[in-house]
Copies of this chain bind each other. A is one copy, B any other.
Amino acid sequence: MRKRNNKASQKPRRRATADDDRKITALNLKPEELTPEMTSYFAKCEEKLGFIPNVLKAYVFDMAKLSAFVAMYNDLMLAPSGLSKLEREMIAVAVSAHNRCYYCLVAHGAAVRQLSGDPPLGELMVMNYRAARLSPRERAMLDFAVKLTAEPWLVEEDDRARLRGAGFSDRDIWDIAAVAGFFNMTNRIASATDMRPNSVYHGQAR
């Protein structure tokens, strides 16, 4: 049996894996000067979140790419949708769990914990969404998103019919597909570049 938790803090730290001490990605890319629009966006991040998410810093080598990423991200995750913000984050994490993407699991796992006020739910999305107690709507949504991630070539009308049967509109189906698709993109950019999440996420909403 392991010792109680409260003694753990007395142990010497094994090694520094804190992600903040390190480069954000494995690539050496020279930063561009932030555009006024992006300067203001980064300031808003600092104000609302208390930090700049590392994925944004990873993109500062090219303002056109940064702007396009921010525009798509904010539209997908924050614009009005038949999917709640929590539902969109649940998709993000279930997709990233299939793809075993460290960056996205850390950052969006924290988001699920925060938005739900239910820390184990964040863990369940990371570990195996099938073990979570989900509503039929949530389960249909995540089953679709994960099948689309794992075997997109098998997605057919029956799959869309199951979503409609769970109460989703055609517009909702687009949004589920678009969020699942987006994280299939970012998971791969993060894995390809060894992108490291801000350490602050680890302790959020535990």
Given A101-B128, A148-B191, are A8 and B117 also a contact pair (CB < 8 Å)? yes
Number of A residues, CB within 8 Å of B: 100
Q: Are B127 and A126 in contact (CB under 8 A)?
A: yes
Chain A interface main SS type: helix
| Contacts of A45-83 to chain B: CB distance below 8 A | 45, 48-50, 61, 64-65, 67-69, 71-72, 75, 78-79
A132 shortest CB reach to chain B, Å: 7
Answer whether residue A36 sits at the interface, using C-beta atoms and an 8 A cutoff. no
A-B contact pairs, 21 of them (CB 8 A): A1-B45, A2-B48, A2-B85, A8-B117, A8-B205, A11-B117, A14-B118, A17-B124, A17-B132, A65-B75, A99-B153, A100-B128, A100-B152, A102-B123, A123-B202, A126-B126, A130-B154, A155-B192, A177-B188, A181-B192, A182-B185
Beyond known contacts A99-B152, A100-B127: 19 more, CB 8 A cutoff: A4-B49, A9-B117, A15-B133, A17-B133, A29-B170, A29-B171, A64-B71, A68-B71, A68-B75, A130-B153, A148-B191, A155-B191, A157-B194, A160-B192, A176-B192, A177-B193, A181-B184, A181-B187, A185-B185
